[in-house]
Chain A
Amino acid sequence: MPDVFTNIALQHYLIVGALMFAIGMIGFMCRRNLIVMFLCSELMLQGVAINFIAFGAFWGKLSGQAFVIFILAIAAAEAALALAIIVLLFRQKHTVDSQAFRELRG
């Protein structure tokens, strides 16, 4: 087995976390579908969650994992809220394209 698979160090977790965050961020900027944008923001949160767990393991502290529970809870709350708002908007214009909503500007 190559070394990289048996000897997984902290930085590997961090790279995965950062990649997830970056993918989420890029998706947030590039996708116009509100639901996908929301999923991207969830992806960012989960990337952070990996960071926390990895750091928690690194320092041998449970507080990192405990924080992840809070993140999950907040993410769930945001999910409920996001979907509700998206439904409201869909009722207005029958679309979930973020560019369609720019009555407020300037």
Chain B
Amino acid sequence: MNFVIEHSYLIPLLPLLGALAAGLLGAKVLKHNSHWPIWIGVGASALMAIVLLVGMLTEHHEPGRMMYFMSHWFDWIVAGDEKTGIFNAAAGAFIDPLTAVMLAVVCGIGFLITVFSKGYMHGESGYFRFFAYLGLFISAMTILVMGDNLIMLYLGWEGVGLCSYLLIGYYYEKPAAREAAKKAFIVNRIGDFGFALGILLTFYCFGTVSFFGTGPGSNTGFLEKALHGIANPGTEVYVFWIPFCLMLGAFGKSAQFPLSVWLPDAMEGPTPVSALIHAATMVTAGVYMIVRLGTLFVGNSNAMITIAVIGAFTAIWAATIALRQSDLKKVFAYSTVSQLGFMFVGVAVLAPVAAVFHLITHAFFKALLFLSSGVVMHATGGELDMCKMSGLKRRLPKTRILMLIGCLALSGFPLLSGFWSKDEIVHAAGGKSLVLGAVMLFTSLLTAYYTFRLYFRVFEGPEKIPGGDHHHGLSQGDSESHGPAAQAHHNPEPLSMMLPLAILAIGAVFAGVINLPFAAGVREHALGHFLQQSPSFAMAARVATAKYGTLTDTDKLGLGQEPTSHVVEVAPLVIGGGAALIGIALAFVLHLQNRAKADELAGRFGSVTRVLDAKYWVDEIYQALIVEPARALGRLFWWFDRVIVGGASFMIGVIPQIGGAALKFSTQRGYLQGYAVSMLACLVLILLWMFM
């Protein structure tokens, strides 16, 4: 572990080198072996991340002591002087339990997905490009979670945004992919504007962008300054607004309402990208950011309420849209938006551990679900519309099992990972406000319903396979298409694709054990106990204690304090599991037993159906409220630019030319005498002017 901490720069560097190798050599030299540099680079990083996590888990732990390691790579940006305040953004890592957990998720799942991608992307024309982007993404994501200051976080943040843009637009020949890439990029700009503003405000108020400065306890980082309320004189009023600015960034990246519109469209990218970036890792960056900077947020109840409201609304809103989506990936995309809403609610109700817990379990089962739908897509020739397929279980037996596991985990089926993590959030939300808890519970029910609607439609029932064997065509304009080379392999479930899925499935089933509410082999709330050693959590807990007095059980941030009673609260577990079972049962009735009944029901609630089908017209509202006014403004500026600025620059071009011609043919005629006369005449003029 010491090696990893000492050489922590290797974690982002190795995938970056891999990306460089794949990007520079891929087109001509490596070709179909372009995955190797990425496998090696990401694999090494994943190994380091696991070693780090295991090392930190086995480290002797004294209660109340924070565990962190700081690694200074090099001085990056240093500006200013003593008078104006020194801006110092060092390139360095801050490694604590939160970082370790995030690194393990990013690199571990990232590695599994790169392995899966080899089989999945086989024969694509931009094979090397895909892997280069993937390596770049992992590199940026590790910087995001390792950075010890806001600028590093921002670097990684923008880096993953760039990779997301590039990968959504991977099939850039397709207009839809181009549009989706642009949409993701532009919507994220809005959030990033807020984030950048938050960084500027932070520096303005605290005079530093470093999380912990020279280390917790030194009072040099802004988190600690916020904890002790040491802001620059006269800036206290701005401290209140910092969380709101940062929140905007988090909502953009994590696709919360109303900045969520880009994520469903982002499914235009290759499926492994959807799994890695738009489900498991990048979109959780917002949650990570708020958890990391919890000290700034926890004390600001307005900010916390805003997050809770936005998160809960997004969760239920996206879940209702998912009810009527027929595209597999779109269902999962809205599901991701909804689950991210769960995480934000978790953060907002002072249960950040539950949020991180859900982040981890969600990473497993959502990656599993996306990759499985990728396999389905392979088998059906790029078809993802669940209305056009049915009963795939005979054609894809292994995938069916994996998908079933994923679906069960997502719907919160008892004892699977999603059950535990979602329940913790629902429980914590209910502890804060019954309405919030009810909303979250209802959303859980919806989640179970739409998940199993999809499962029953696709894998059960009478067999109907679109495209048959000779599928892999380019005809499906709406979703990604595979080149002729992809048609070569007939086994739709090759080992290189199944193995990562199997590992993810194991995770989806058993990831819950890391934070069980009771001791079962591992101690209860193991994740909470582990994260409690993170300075971010410890400081946030102190702020919360100061603000809300003695913490109740649900208020203790989910950290591993000894519970007041050793009785496991069974009621919330039963209620949560019950909701999941009801949802599944409903889906069983409507989408397996009697599919006609479902259509009839949909017809009966025609207006509701239309609203859901139209996704609440959010895109249209955006178009009318933002895009069109922006276009009009753009036209105005275009006109200004063309007529006023263009006219002025035209004048700058033309007037001198006229003057030049006049001078050229009057004063530069080549006569020696003429020059002499001109010179002396000018001299006389000057003398006259001077002496008159």
Binding site for B on A (CB under 8 A): 25, 28-29, 32, 37, 98-99, 101-106
Contacts and interface: CB of A to CB of B under 8 A. Distances in A.
Given A25-B680, A29-B680, A105 B673 contact: no
Contact of B671 (A25, A28, A37, A102): A102
A103 B670 contact: yes
Contacts of A102: 669-672
B681 to A, nearest CB: 9
B677 A105 contact: no
Given A25-B680, A29-B680, A106-B664, A98 B673 contact: yes
B676 interface: yes
B677 A106 contact: no
A101 B672 CA distance: 8
Contacts, number: 30
Contacts of B677: 29
Interface in B638-691: 664-665, 668-673, 676-677, 680
A75 to B, nearest CB: 18
Nearest to A25: B680
Contacts of B665: 106
18 contacts: A25-B680, A29-B680, A37-B672, A98-B672, A98-B673, A99-B671, A99-B672, A102-B669, A102-B670, A102-B672, A103-B670, A104-B670, A105-B668, A105-B669, A105-B671, A106-B664, A106-B665, A106-B670
A99 B670 CA distance: 9
Contacts of A29: 673, 676-677, 680
A29 B680 CA distance: 9
B664 A99 contact: no
Interface of B: 664-665, 668-673, 676-677, 680
A98 B670 CA distance: 10
Contacts of B676: 28-29
Given A28-B676, A29-B680, A106-B664, A98 B669 contact: no
Given A98-B671, A103-B670, A106-B670, 6 more contacts: A25-B680, A29-B673, A29-B677, A99-B672, A101-B672, A105-B668
B34 to A, nearest CB: 60
Across the A-B interface, give the 8 residue pairs with the lowest CB-CB distance, nearest first. A105-B670, A102-B670, A98-B672, A29-B677, A106-B668, A106-B664, A105-B669, A29-B676
Contacts of B664: 106
Nearest to B670: A105
A97 to B, nearest CB: 10
A98 B680 CA distance: 18
B673 A106 contact: no
A104 B671 CA distance: 9
Given A25-B680, A106-B664, A99 B673 contact: yes
Contacts of A32: 673
A18 to B, nearest CB: 13
Nearest to A41: B676
B667 to A, nearest CB: 10
A53 B463 CA distance: 121
Contacts of B672: 37, 98-99, 101-102
B686 to A, nearest CB: 15
Most chain-A Cβ atoms within 10 A of its Cβ — which of B668, B669, B676? Answer: B676
B317 to A, nearest CB: 74
Contacts of B669: 102, 105-106
A103 B672 CA distance: 11
A12 to B, nearest CB: 23
A106 B664 CA distance: 5
Nearest to B668: A106
Contacts of A101: 672
Nearest to B665: A106
A105 B663 CA distance: 12
B540 to A, nearest CB: 77
Contacts of A103: 670
B209 to A, nearest CB: 60
A103 B670 CA distance: 7
Contacts of A37: 672
Nearest to A99: B671
A102 B675 CA distance: 12
A27 to B, nearest CB: 11
A28 B668 CA distance: 19
A99 B669 CA distance: 11
A32 to B, nearest CB: 7
Most chain-A Cβ atoms within 10 A of its Cβ — which of B664, B665, B672, B677? Answer: B672
Contacts of B680: 25, 29
Nearest to B663: A106
Nearest to B683: A25
Nearest to A32: B673
Nearest to B669: A105
A44 B677 CA distance: 15
Most chain-A Cβ atoms within 10 A of its Cβ — which of B664, B668, B670, B680? Answer: B670
Contacts of A104: 670
Most chain-A Cβ atoms within 10 A of its Cβ — which of B665, B668, B671? Answer: B671
A57 B670 CA distance: 43
A40 B672 CA distance: 14
